[in-house]
Amino acid sequence: MMRTMTTERGTRRRAPAGAAVLREDVTDAIRAAVFEELAAVGFARMSIEGIARRAGVGKTAVYRRWKSKLALVLDLVAAVAAQGMPAPATGSLYGDVRAVLELAAYALRHPVASQVIPDLLVEAVRNPEISEAIKAALLDQQQGVAAVVVREAVARGELPEGSDPDRALDLIVGPLYWRLVVVRGELPKGYLDDLAASAVAALQHPGERSGQ
């Protein structure tokens, strides 16, 4: 009897979920609304009610998919991380660095991302779960790209053995992040070209930075 009751209860619970919960168009609308809501009010003030209103659905549609706004944001960040940023394969260190900068600049200048990323980084200081999600979405993924760029450059003889991918990432993306996210300044014409050349020079001649 216990098995029968469990089966019956399970059937009753699954029946309504099959038709409405898994509609992809509703899920996509909610995810888009989360980005917009984060950009508009930030994580601290974001609410399930506001997300539902912006997505044009009821609150139950959100809660059927995610138990809280934190779970929703973590899922969204994970989805962004899964898309990844492809490692460039231009055939030269300068070309690869320039391609990384182009993609990073495009992402950081996006009107929604430019609001969402800084806000989530602030929340990450207070929330370990958000911190881990951001690390996986931003740091881990970009470290992987930097590792490929450095490895290929070493193989071509453009960089010495033992070149550090983490240092490469700092030199390539760090100044761009500072300019676009912290200072929020415009990029002058030729800025990415100059930054790519400077990063390549610093990577190829590390001793010169300290006069060694």
Domains of the chain listed by start with CATH number = 24-79 (1.10.10.60), 85-204 (1.10.357.10)
Cβ neighbours for 108, distance < 8 A, ≥ 6 positions apart: 114, 117, 176, 177, 180, 181
Which 8-state DSSP code applies to residue 43? Answer: H
Query: What's the pLDDT score for residue 208?
Result: 56
Measured N-to-C along each axis, helices 191-204 and 165-177 cross at an angle, to the nearest 10 degrees, of 150
Q: Sign of dihedral through CA atoms 53, 54, 56, 57?
A: negative
CB 165 within 8 A of CB 109: no
> 């676009």: which residue's tokens?
180
Provide the pLDDT for residue 123: 82
Neighbouring C-beta atoms of residue 43, cutoff 10 Å: 20
Note the pLDDT of residue 92: 97
* C-alpha distance from residue 68 to each of 14, 44, 47, 48 (Å): 21, 13, 9, 8
Show the tokens assigned to 136.
């996986």
Distance between CA atoms of residues 150 and 115, nearest Å: 31
* Helix/strand/coil for 211: coil
pLDDT tens digit at each of 212 positions of the chain? 333 333 333 434 444 444 444 588 898 899 889 888 888 888 888 899 999 999 999 999 999 998 888 888 888 777 766 666 778 999 999 999 999 999 888 878 876 677 777 778 788 888 888 888 777 777 777 888 999 999 999 999 999 999 999 999 999 999 998 998 888 888 999 999 999 999 999 999 876 544 44
pLDDT for residue 162:
93
* The model's pTM: 0.68
Return the half-sphere exposure (C-beta side, CA atoms, 13 A cut-off) of residue 17: 9
Q: Looking at this protein, which amino acid is placed at residue 98?
A: R
